Amino acid sequence: MIMLAKTRRTYMQNNKPLWFGQTKRWYDSNRWRRVASAHKNQYPLCEICLKLGIERPVAVTDHIIPHNGDYALFWDWDNLQSLCATCHGLKRAVEHGGHMPGCDVDGNPLDDSHWWNKT
Ligand SMILES: [Zn+2]
């Protein structure tokens, strides 16, 4: 138990991962503002809604693979996608163990981890 508590203190601070403060600086940087606005210009519509045949404007520039403090993943242009506020909220829920509801226009589940997409 004592060992566990020690490990936890090493990686967490105020219930946030240690990289949290670092990535806040990345998000606050002029570089991120430039990258995010360039990405929004190139992809002005929510990419998940587009799969549903809905055109909804982007609200959030999202990291497809969560960067978890990884510098390369954070700045990887190909790891960015445009999402509306609703889809971003759903994706966050999925990352915390939920499932992405709904299907695209072809009837394929939007959730990549759905068994239908495993075949
Ligand atoms: Zn959307």
Backbone phi, psi, residue 16, to 5°: -120, 145
pLDDT level of residue 28 (50, 70, 90 thresholds): very high
Domain boundaries, the chain: 37-119
Give the integer Cα–Cα distance in Å for 98 and 92: 9
* CA 8–ligand 1 middle distance (angstroms): 35
Dmax of the chain from CA atoms?
Answer: 53
* CA 4–ligand 1 middle distance (angstroms): 40
Q: And the tokens for 42?
A: 């190139």
Sign of the alpha-carbon dihedral angle for 62, 68, 69, 75: negative
User: What is the overall mean pLDDT for the chain?
Assistant: 86
Q: Are 9 and 27 in contact (CB under 8 A)?
A: no
Residue 10 has what pLDDT?
A: 45
Residues with CB under 5 A from ligand 1 (ion): 46, 48-49, 84, 87
pLDDT for residue 3 is more than 80: no
pLDDT for residue 42 is more than 90: yes
* CA 41–ligand 1 middle distance (angstroms): 16
Say what the pTM is. Answer: 0.74
Q: Smallest Cα–Cα separation from 80: which of 114, 17, 35?
A: 35
pLDDT level of residue 8 (50, 70, 90 thresholds): very low
pLDDT level of residue 11 (50, 70, 90 thresholds): low
pLDDT for residue 38 is more than 90: yes
